[in-house]
């Protein structure tokens, strides 16, 4: 039987590499996945959770891919070491997150390895940006614009949204292993968003008017894309003026949110965190939001 | 958005105001100039809902991004690979011994700088003359 994608993610290489990996990447006590009590949960519930955790593992691995491209490009542009140093932390964090999510997915639904390997698929990552521009030491503006777009998409929007989503996942999870996984990842997400806001501020200060306009166009496109992928078809008009409380689930939950929870978290976070912080950097985020293509 | 502690676990509060209302109506992707192509897949938050395999069935595989594989700088043309226009003038080339069946030109075409020799990072290979001397 061919190993599933999640299993390939977790495959051993050599003992020494494994020790180096654990020393570098496993910063917190590792959750005891063997303690996950499969028999306590309905297989349908476990399968649904495995779909989410395996997808999260792919997304986290995608972040490793994105942050290494960003790191490579900024390194070639010879930005100060504090920037690439802070970014390096994100790379190892994302490796750990991918590993945690893949382990959780396999713990939830081990019978799926044989019966439904597509749940644990692992596609080749593709960054949600243009390729980085060719570097020209005498004209770095295209690099600053590209890096600003990448950081805006992956960190300022992506990581800022991930934090409350993970917080909610940790709150609703009734299983101790799922809770431990979500909380361990959550501890890093705030740092990742902070990196995004700090580094975007550094880059925006270097952009000329044309590059700022390009960044604004990119924001508009990203707003539309994350709205479509996150709100489960619930438009802003349906939730504006409403509030939602998310607390510990009354029924068994392995770290899965409802459509309404996703939509409320998304719109509330965009309204109170993402758009105001982009505006504070001098970017016309509210205007960009207003003209985004609606495809919900 | 705020959170308040319960006995052991948090309860999160999410409220949506009216700042996000307005804009173009759902279903109207009217800003054609904002729809870019070949810019990679659309971004989505890492913890967005994931479709299961059954939801993917029947879905057309998204088109491959027009990826450009970075294969490093274009190689300088060598005498062996140079196009006819690039090839050195026969007058400039030492043809070598006449009886050699396929004489190779000795003159390099655009050799560029000497290749950098990989060196351990801890070795200082370039001694800089003390400007005070």
Read off the pLDDT of residues A22-47 as tens digits, 9 standing for 90 and up: 999 998 899 999 999 999 999 999 99
Q: Which residues touch A214 (CB under 8 Å, ≥6 apart)?
A: A145, A149
- Note whether A96 contacts B: Cβ–Cβ < 8 A: no
**Inter-chain CB proximity B24 and A293 less than 8 Å:** yes
Q: How many whole angstroms separate alpha carbon A281 and alpha carbon A202?
A: 10
- The answer to whether the CB of A274 falls within 8 A of the CB of A265 is no
Q: How many whole angstroms separate alpha carbon B70 and alpha carbon A98?
A: 26
> A253: closest CA among A189, A176, A185?
A176
Q: What's residue B117's pLDDT? A: 52
Separation in Å, CA A228 to CA A234, A258, B16, B24:
9, 15, 17, 14
**Inter-chain CB proximity B53 and A162 less than 8 Å:** no
Q: What's residue B22's pLDDT? A: 72
Q: What's residue B3's pLDDT? A: 41
- A232 DSSP assignment: T
pLDDT in tens, A70-89: 999 999 999 999 999 999 99
Mean pLDDT, chain A, as a whole number? 95
Alpha helices in B8-118 (DSSP H): 53-56
Q: Which residues touch A63 (CB under 8 Å, ≥6 apart)?
A: A90, A94, A97, A98, A154, A158, B46
- Note whether A234 contacts B: Cβ–Cβ < 8 A: no
- The answer to whether the CB of A164 falls within 8 A of the CB of A189 is no
- Note whether A48 contacts B: Cβ–Cβ < 8 A: yes
**Inter-chain CB proximity A245 and B11 less than 8 Å:** yes
**Inter-chain CB proximity A291 and B12 less than 8 Å:** no
- The answer to whether the CB of A211 falls within 8 A of the CB of A291 is no
pLDDT bracket for residue A189 (50, 70, 90): confident
- What is the DSSP annotation of A59-110? HHHHHHHHHHHHHHHHHHTT--HHHHHHHHHHHHHHHHHHHHHHHHHHHH-T
- The answer to whether the CB of B94 falls within 8 A of the CB of B69 is no
pLDDT at A295 over 70: no
Tens digits of pLDDT across chain B (133 residues): 444 433 456 899 999 999 999 755 444 444 444 434 345 677 888 888 888 887 776 554 444 444 444 455 554 544 444 444 444 444 444 444 545 444 444 444 554 555 555 556 655 555 555 555 4
Nearest CA-CA distance, residue A157 and chain B, Å? 8
Q: CA torsion, points A122, A124, A130, A136, in degrees to nearest 10?
A: 130
The predicted complex's ipTM stands at 0.89
Give the residue from chain A lying closest to B44, CA to CA.
A226
pLDDT in tens, A110-121: 999 999 999 999
Q: What percent of chain A has pLDDT over 90?
A: 94
- Note whether B41 contacts A: Cβ–Cβ < 8 A: yes
**Inter-chain CB proximity B52 and A48 less than 8 Å:** yes
This prediction has a pTM of: 0.80
Question: Would you tell me which residues 53-82 of chain A have a C-beta closer than 8 angstroms to some C-beta of chain B?
Answer: 54-56, 59-60, 62-63
pLDDT in tens, A126-147: 998 889 999 888 899 999 999 9
Q: Which of A116, A131, A243 sits opposite B15 (nearest CB)?
A: A243
**Inter-chain CB proximity B13 and A259 less than 8 Å:** no
**Inter-chain CB proximity B53 and A121 less than 8 Å:** yes
**Inter-chain CB proximity B24 and A247 less than 8 Å:** no
Question: Would you tell me which residues 192-221 of chain A have a C-beta closer than 8 angstroms to some C-beta of chain B?
Answer: 217, 220-221
Q: How many whole angstroms separate alpha carbon A148 and alpha carbon A136?
A: 17
């Amino acid at each position: 039987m061919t190993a599933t994608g999640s299993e390939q993610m977790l495959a051993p290489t050599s003992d020494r590499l494994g020790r180096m990996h654990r020393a570098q990447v496993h910063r917190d006590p590792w959750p005891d996945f063997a303690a996950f009590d499969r028999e306590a949960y309905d297989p349908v519930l476990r399968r649904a959770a495995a779909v989410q955790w395996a997808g999260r593992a792919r997304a986290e691995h995608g972040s490793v891919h994105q942050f290494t491209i960003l790191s490579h490009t900024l390194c070639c542009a010879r930005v100060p070491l504090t920037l690439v140093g802070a970014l390096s932390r994100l790379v190892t964090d994302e490796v750990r997150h991918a590993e945690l999510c893949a382990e959780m997915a396999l713990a939830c639904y081990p019978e799926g390895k044989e019966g439904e390997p597509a749940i644990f698929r692992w596609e080749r990552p593709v960054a949600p940006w243009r390729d980085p521009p060719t570097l020209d030491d005498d004209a770095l503006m295209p690099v600053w614009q590209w890096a600003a777009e990448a950081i805006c998409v992956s960190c300022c929007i992506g990581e800022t949204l991930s934090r409350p989503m993970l917080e909610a996942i940790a709150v609703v999870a009734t299983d101790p292993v799922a809770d431990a996984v979500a909380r361990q990842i959550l501890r890093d997400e705030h740092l990742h968003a902070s990196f995004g806001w700090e580094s975007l501020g550094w880059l925006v200060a270097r952009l000329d008017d044309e590059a700022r306009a390009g960044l604004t166009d990119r924001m508009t496109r990203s707003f539309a894309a994350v709205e479509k992928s996150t709100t489960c078809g619930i438009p802003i008009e349906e939730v504006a003026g409403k509030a939602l409380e998310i607390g510990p689930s009354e029924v068994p939950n392995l770290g899965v949110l409802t459509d309404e929870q996703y939509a409320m978290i998304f719109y509330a976070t965009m309204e109170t965190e993402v758009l105001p912080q982009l505006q504070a950097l001098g970017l016309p985020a509210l205007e960009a939001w207003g003209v985004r293509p609606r495809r919900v | 958005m705020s959170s308040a502690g319960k006995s052991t676990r948090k309860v999160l509060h999410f409220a949506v105001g009216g700042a996000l209302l307005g804009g173009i109506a759902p279903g109207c992707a009217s800003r054609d100039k904002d729809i870019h192509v070949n810019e990679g897949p659309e971004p989505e938050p890492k913890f967005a809902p994931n479709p299961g395999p059954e939801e993917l069935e029947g879905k057309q595989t998204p088109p491959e991004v027009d990826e450009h594989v970075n294969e490093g700088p274009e190689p300088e043309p060598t005498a062996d690979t140079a196009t006819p226009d690039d090839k050195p003038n026969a007058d400039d080339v030492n043809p070598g011994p006449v009886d050699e069946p396929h004489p190779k030109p000795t003159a390099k075409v655009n050799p560029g700088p000497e290749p950098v020799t990989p060196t351990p990072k801890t070795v200082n290979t370039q001694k800089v003359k003390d400007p005070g001397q």
